[in-house]
Structures are given as structure tokens and as C-alpha cells.
């Protein structure tokens, strides 16, 4: 277990021995407690609190300690503790343990406090410290309500799927992209391969965006792709997902042409955006295709889909693509909202949509399109993906 120690603000010095008014006897050492932050485990573990004397005592010194609830609660998150800590003569440090109750639930950090009192042969310096519990477990249930697509379609065969039923991301299907370069969009996050930003739970892939200082960025998230693992040309794609919708969030389920890494730069490789959501429009998603026009500029064809009730964070929806040699359609819950013809809508440049494409799933924070998170954006923000399925035609 990694312990991260920090000193909290000092409180007023109190009397030695447990009675009377303040004691400023310069011959008595000051006793101070250090707070700590720990990552919760699935089974019970100990949080070790240290008490230090400002000078080595010539005789044994002691303080009483007791735990107090804050956002963490005794009996549920930790075991209440109290007692007397004695630091022997000739030493200047002692410790006591508080038992942290094991739990794999992913949730926000929790805090309890430890308070010192009744000093003997010493005075109190920093008499209160916090125990911060980091809850980065990989159990996160979510309401499964929403649209569910069929497992088969007439005239199609299931070519590949990932149902995310394992305990970790399948490395035979996916790569982690690790960088903080803004992805050409002035994004604000650092993409990592940490369990804090991507994990599997209850049959869902979960990408979690956080507000934290990491490698020079103020936010972290995850971005994965199937390049060199799974790529496809034509067919039907179904992706069932629930999306983050706060200001500054930019979840996306999309595809790029395989040749982006073999000499054909974007947008010449082609981009198929099955779904993008800008958090300031929580009930709207956008589907697009991008290509290189004859004048060297990016070409775009797109359209929006708007929910009639609620927003995309409240239930699962299925985002689909039907891709043929002549056209591409995007659907939400089997309702077509983008229909692009290569001959009618790609009027300039080279059509890249007759070659293999690979998947990218990510949650961006900030960027040129969504703008930055606002004061009302509460972190963490999460995208849940239930499954991705690819169907082909003979």
C-alpha cells in the first residue's frame, strides 16, 4: 500500500496532562499528527497514522486519539478507533493503525478525521489530521435501461464483437493511446492506460475523465483504438453506450482509415464519426464523415440527432453505422439521421470509404469544439460502453 503523507494546519497548543489552561512550557516537546491518503483495497487493510514529537523526550510522553466521521463513516468505511499512544523516552515518533474496510466500489474519495487530546509530558501541536480514502475499485454498477439492438440481422453475419465481459480490456482487440498532445483539437486531457481512467465492470467498458494534475495536464481520460487488431470494410456496426453530457465533455465513438499510419495523412485517410457529443448539448449527437477535397481542404458531411426526452446520460442508446460501397448511414436506436452518398456528397477529392477502417473510443475534455469545462462541470465524468458488434454481408 502506498501512503502519501501530508501535514494539516496546526491547532492551538493545549495543556499537558489533560487539565487546566494552556501550557507553554518550553521544556515540553510538541506532539503533531500527520494525515495520509491511501488507496482502498478489496479486503481490509490498515491506515498507519504517525505522531511526532518536536524533540526527543527525556521521559515517556503520551496522547489520546480518537477517530471522527466526515464523508467516511465508521462501521462502513473504517473501524472506529480510540486509545492512548505512548512514545517511550529517548524516541520522538510513534504510530497507531486504523482499519480500513475493504470495498471494490468505484466512488469519490472519502475522509475521516483523527483528533489528539490529553497530552502527558508534551503539548499539542497539530492535533487533528485527515485520513483520505481513494476509492479506485473496479466495481461500478449502473442502470442498464435503454435501447437494446438485436443480436442478428437478416442477410448479415456477426463478424466480430467485444461484449466487455472480462475483468480487463482485451489486448488482442485494443490499444491504449497515451499522450497529452491535444490530439490536434487543443484538448485539455492527458490520455492514460491507468485503471483510474479505464476499467471494466458488470459487462461495461468505462472511460472515466478526471480533474487532476497529471504529466502537466489538469485532466485525465482514456482513448483506445483497434488499429492492427480489428478493422473492417462495409457492414453494420452497433455500439451500445451511455454518455457524459457536462460542459466541456466530448465523448466519441468513431473510425479512421487504416492507411493513416502508412503514409496517408488525415483527412485523406477518411474519418467516420458514428457519434460525437458536445456536453453543452446533452440531448444531441452528431454523425459525420471527413475526407480530403481536391483543393487540399477537409471535406465534411454531417447531421445531428436530438432526443425528444431526456439526455444521453440517462439511459443506454445504440449508435449504428450501415456502410456499403456506395454510401454510409448513421443511426440512433435504429433511426437513420445521417445518410451520405459517396457520389452525391463527396463532390471533390478522393473517396476514402472503400478501404479498411479501425475503431477509436474516447472521452475528450475541452478542445476547440466543446470548449473548456465550466464551474458546473462535476468530475469524474464517465462513458459506459456495453458492447460493439460488427456484422458483415456475404
Question: Residue length, the chain?
Answer: 394
- The residue annotated as part of the active site, out of 187, 230, 276, 298, is 276
25, HSE (Cβ side, Cα atoms, 13 Å): 15
Query: Rounded CA gap, 169 and 157, in Å?
Result: 24
Kindly provide the residue ranges of all beta strands, DSSP E only, lying in 202-270, ordered along the sequence. Answer: 204-214, 217-221, 223-225, 231-232, 235-242, 249-257
SS3 label, residue 150: coil
Which CB contacts under 8 angstroms, 24+ apart, belong to 142-145?
Answer: 142/202, 142/204, 142/242, 142/384, 143/315, 144/316, 144/386, 145/315, 145/316
Query: Rounded CA gap, 374 and 181, in Å?
Result: 21
265-281 burial string, b = 16+ CB within 10 Å, else e?
A: eebbbbbbbbbbbbbee
Query: Rounded CA gap, 18 and 277, in Å?
Result: 61
SS3 label, residue 238: strand
SS3 label, residue 183: helix
In angstroms, what CA-CA distances link 301 with 20, 286, 306? Answer: 79, 11, 17
Active site residue 276: yes
- The residue annotated as part of the active site, out of 212, 230, 271, 298, is 271
**Residue tagged 426526452 (cell numbers):** 309
Omega before 209 cis (within 30°)?
no
Active site residue 271: yes
Question: Are 25 and 13 within 8 A, CB to CB?
Answer: no
- Provide CB contacts within 8 A for 263, sequence distance 6+: none
Query: Rounded CA gap, 30 and 121, in Å?
Result: 9
Query: Rounded CA gap, 217 and 207, in Å?
Result: 17
Residue among 293, 297, 351, 289 nearest 326 (CA): 351
Query: Would you please indicate which residues are annotated as catalytic (active-site) residues?
Result: 271, 276
Amino acid at each position: 500500500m502506498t501512503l502519501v503523507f501530508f501535514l494539516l494546519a496546526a491547532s492551538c497548543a493545549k495543556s499537558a496532562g489533560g487539565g487546566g489552561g494552556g501550557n507553554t512550557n518550553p521544556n515540553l516537546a510538541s506532539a503533531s499528527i500527520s494525515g495520509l491518503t491511501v488507496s482502498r483495497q478489496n479486503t481490509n487493510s490498515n491506515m498507519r497514522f504517525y505522531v511526532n514529537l518536536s524533540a526527543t523526550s527525556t521521559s515517556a510522553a503520551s496522547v489520546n486519539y480518537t477517530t471522527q466521521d466526515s464523508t467516511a463513516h465508521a462501521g462502513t468505511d473504517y473501524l472506529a478507533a480510540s486509545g492512548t499512544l505512548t512514545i517511550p523516552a529517548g524516541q520522538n515518533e510513534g504510530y497507531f493503525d486504523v482499519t480500513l474496510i475493504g470495498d471494490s466500489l468505484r466512488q469519490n474519495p472519502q475522509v475521516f478525521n483523527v483528533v489528539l487530546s490529553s497530552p502527558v509530558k508534551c503539548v499539542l501541536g497539530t492535533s487533528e489530521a485527515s485520513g483520505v480514502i481513494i476509492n479506485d475499485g473496479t466495481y461500478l454498477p449502473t442502470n442498464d435501461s435503454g435501447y437494446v439492438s438485436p443480436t442478428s440481422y437478416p442477410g448479415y453475419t456477426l463478424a466480430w464483437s467485444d461484449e466487455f465481459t472480462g475483468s480487463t480490456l482485451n489486448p488482442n482487440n485494443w490499444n491504449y493511446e497515451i499522450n497529452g498532445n491535444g490530439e490536434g483539437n487543443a484538448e485539455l486531457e492527458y490520455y492514460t492506460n491507468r485503471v483510474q481512467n479505464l476499467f471494466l465492470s458488470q459487462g461495461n467498458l468505462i472511460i472515466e475523465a478526471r480533474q487532476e494534475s497529471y504529466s502537466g495536464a489538469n485532466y485525465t481520460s482514456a482513448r483506445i483504438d483497434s488499429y492492427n487488431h480489428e478493422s473492417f470494410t462495409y457492414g453494420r456496426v452497433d455500439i451500445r453506450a451511455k454518455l457524459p453530457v457536462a460542459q466541456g465533455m466530448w465523448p466519441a465513438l468513431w473510425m479512421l482509415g487504416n492507411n493513416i499510419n502508412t503514409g496517408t495523412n488525415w483527412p485523406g485517410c477518411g474519418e467516420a464519426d458514428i457519434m460525437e457529443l458536445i456536453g453543452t448539448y446533452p440531448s444531441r449527437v452528431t454523425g459525420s464523415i471527413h475526407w480530403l477535397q481536391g483543393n487540399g481542404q477537409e471535406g465534411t458531411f454531417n447531421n445531428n440527432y436530438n432526443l425528444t426526452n431526456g439526455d444521453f446520460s440517462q439511459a443506454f442508446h445504440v449508435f449504428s453505422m450501415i456502410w456499403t460501397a456506395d454510401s454510409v448511414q448513421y443511426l440512433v436506436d435504429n433511426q437513420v439521421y445521417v445518410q451520405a452518398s459517396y457520389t452525391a456528397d463527396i463532390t471533390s477529392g478522393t473517396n476514402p470509404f472503400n478501404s479498411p477502417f479501425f475503431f477509436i473510443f474516447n472521452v475528450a475534455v475541452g478542445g476547440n469544439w466543446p470548449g473548456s469545462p465550466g464551474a458546473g462541470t462535476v468530475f469524474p465524468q464517465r462513458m459506459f460502453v456495453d458492447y460493439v458488434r460488427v456484422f458483415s454481408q456475404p
